[in-house]
Amino acid sequence: MSGLITDRQTKDAPKTERPRLYKVLLFNDDFTPREFVVQVLKAEFSMSEEQAFRVMMTAHRRGLCVVAVFVKDVAETKAARATEAARKQGFPLLLDVEPED
Ligand code: TYC
């Protein structure tokens, strides 16, 4: 290791520090059908119908909803796959990631 000391790493920090987690955010829009959002959440995030419906309705009512948290790679891949599935069907559905506080 370089010996550089960053904000999140001190000389005494344990070597087993957990990786930073990233939230996957689901954004509302006026065009993607509710049922499609539910399908994508079930397929990409292994949610039940009930969970997916609740998350979809939260985004619909509040503008966005946190779907789940993952390590960076997994969060980015799932957000990209879900967004891509919507693009293939011509829907503007958007999922993005943001670091947890
Ligand atoms: N607002 C959309 C509609 O009324 C449904 C929707 C819900 C779209 C959640 C995106 O993240 C979303 N058809």
The set of protein residues with a Cβ atom below 6 angstroms from ligand 1 is 26-30, 32-34, 37, 56, 59-60, 93
> CATH says 29-99 is which class?
alpha beta
**pTM recorded for the entire structure:** 0.86
Side-chain half-sphere CA neighbours of 20 within 13 A? 11
Give nearest CA residue, ligand 1 atom 10.
28
Q: How far apart are CA 70 and CA 78, in angstroms?
A: 9
Q: pLDDT means per 10 residues in the chain (101 residues)?
A: 49 76 98 98 98 98 98 98 98 98 84
User: Residue 6: its pLDDT value, please?
Assistant: 52
User: Residue 16: its pLDDT value, please?
Assistant: 82
Tally Cβ neighbours within 10 Å of residue 53.
17
Give nearest CA residue, ligand 1 atom 11.
28
User: Residue 101: its pLDDT value, please?
Assistant: 84
Could you tell me the distance, in angstroms and rounded to a whole number, from the CA of residue 4 to the centre of ligand 1? 46
68, 22 contact by CB (below 8 A): no
User: Residue 7: its pLDDT value, please?
Assistant: 55
DSSP 79: H
